[in-house]
């Protein structure tokens, strides 16, 4: 995701400065943009770098794991921020909102990825040549209902359904483990489908779910027929390559408007 943003900004002439969060960001990902690396607890270092490089808007992009307190090693400003946020007891949603508030309190505006690279957002419709069947659409409708319930209590955003049966739901372990569990309990016949949507009331400026080549590889590996994602709320990374792979593997990808569920 950061690579796609850097590429888009370079192609459109938009100035960019990147803070790579260690150990999650890799050097080769940031080689085409001015950047620094910092640990997640080094809030002072990060904010100073943004100020010195005359940053006005901040985009939060890419995946990180919540660190333990032993791993944080915060600087002075980071320690004060963590004490204020009480990060140990916060849900992910509340933690992200608090981080956004702190960034903006220091004079920066946090914007969503779709404001910078709007073409990365899914739109309604089928991507590629493979279409879901009527049975698949029934499973998608069931999956949307269940995923909305999960999101409402900040558990997860995805579910796997086969002929109306919920095989697995996503929690903290992530998509790959969810699909692995689903593959162990699926029954013969029509293959399962995966549904991934936003949490109700999710802040679009942060933590947007994304679909990419790895997703298609996982669907193939675990025998999932296709994936339905919420239009206007899920990101598609490396669009052309993802569609090509899905077509080759006979996997459908569809953007849906969850209010319609059809």
Boundaries of domain holding 128: 121-256
Structural domain ending residue among the three candidates 90, 116, 142: 116
Bridge-based pairing of strands 18-22 and 35-39 is parallel
Per-residue model confidence (pLDDT) at position 261: 39
Same domain flag for 58 and 74? yes
Higher pLDDT, 92 or 165: 165
Q: State pLDDT tens for residues 91-121.
A: 555 666 777 887 888 899 998 888 888 888 8
Same domain flag for 110 and 198? no
Q: Residue 44 contacts by C-beta under 8 Å, 6 or more apart in sequence? A: 75, 76, 77, 78
- Tell me the average pLDDT across 196-219: 83
- The CATH number of the domain holding residue 215 is 3.40.140.80
Which ranges in 53-108 belong to alpha helices (H)? 69-72, 76-85, 92-105
Determine, yes or no, domain membership for 261: no
Total domains in the chain come to 2
- Asked if residues 197 and 230 have their Cβ atoms less than 8 Å apart, the reply is yes
The overall average pLDDT reported for the chain is: 86
Same domain flag for 40 and 66? yes
Same domain flag for 63 and 149? no
- Tell me the average pLDDT across 63-82: 64
Q: State pLDDT tens for residues 131-152.
A: 999 999 999 999 999 999 988 8
Q: State pLDDT tens for residues 237-250.
A: 889 999 999 999 99
Same domain flag for 187 and 147? yes
> If DSSP codes are grouped into helix, strand and coil, which group holds residue 230?
strand
Same domain flag for 126 and 111? no
Q: How far apart are CA 148 and CA 158, in angstroms?
A: 9
Residue carrying the six token digits 């963590």: 82
Helix axes 239-249 and 213-221, enclosed angle (nearest 10): 20
Same domain flag for 236 and 168? yes
- Tell me the average pLDDT across 215-229: 96
Per-residue model confidence (pLDDT) at position 188: 93
């Amino acid at each position: 995701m950061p690579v796609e943003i850097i590429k888009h900004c370079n192609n459109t002439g938009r100035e960019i400065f990147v803070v790579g969060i260690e150990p999650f960001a890799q050097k080769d990902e940031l080689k085409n943009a001015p950047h620094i690396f910092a640990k997640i607890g080094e809030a002072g270092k990060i904010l100073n770098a943004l100020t010195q490089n005359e940053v006005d808007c901040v985009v939060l992009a890419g995946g990180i794991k919540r660190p333990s307190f032993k791993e944080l090693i915060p600087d002075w400003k980071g320690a004060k921020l963590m004490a204020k946020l009480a990060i140990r007891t916060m849900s992910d949603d509340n933690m992200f909102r608090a981080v956004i508030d702190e960034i903006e309190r220091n004079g920066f505006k946090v914007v969503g990825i779709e404001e910078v690279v709007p073409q990365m957002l899914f739109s309604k419709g089928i991507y590629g040549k493979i279409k879901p069947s009527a049975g698949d659409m029934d499973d998608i409708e069931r999956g949307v209902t269940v995923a909305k319930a999960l999101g409402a209590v900040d558990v997860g955003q995805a579910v796997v359904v086969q002929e109306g049966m919920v095989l697995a739901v996503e929690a903290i372990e992530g998509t790959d483990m969810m699909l692995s569990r689903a593959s162990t309990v699926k029954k013969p016949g029509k293959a399962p489908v995966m549904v991934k949507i936003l949490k109700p009331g999710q802040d679009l400026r942060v933590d947007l779910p994304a679909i990419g080549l790895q997703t298609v590889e996982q669907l193939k590996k675990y025998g999932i027929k296709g994936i339905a994602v919420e239009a206007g709320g899920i990101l598609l990374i490396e669009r052309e390559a993802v569609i090509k792979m899905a077509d080759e593997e006979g996997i459908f990808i569809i953007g849906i408007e969850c209010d319609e569920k059809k």
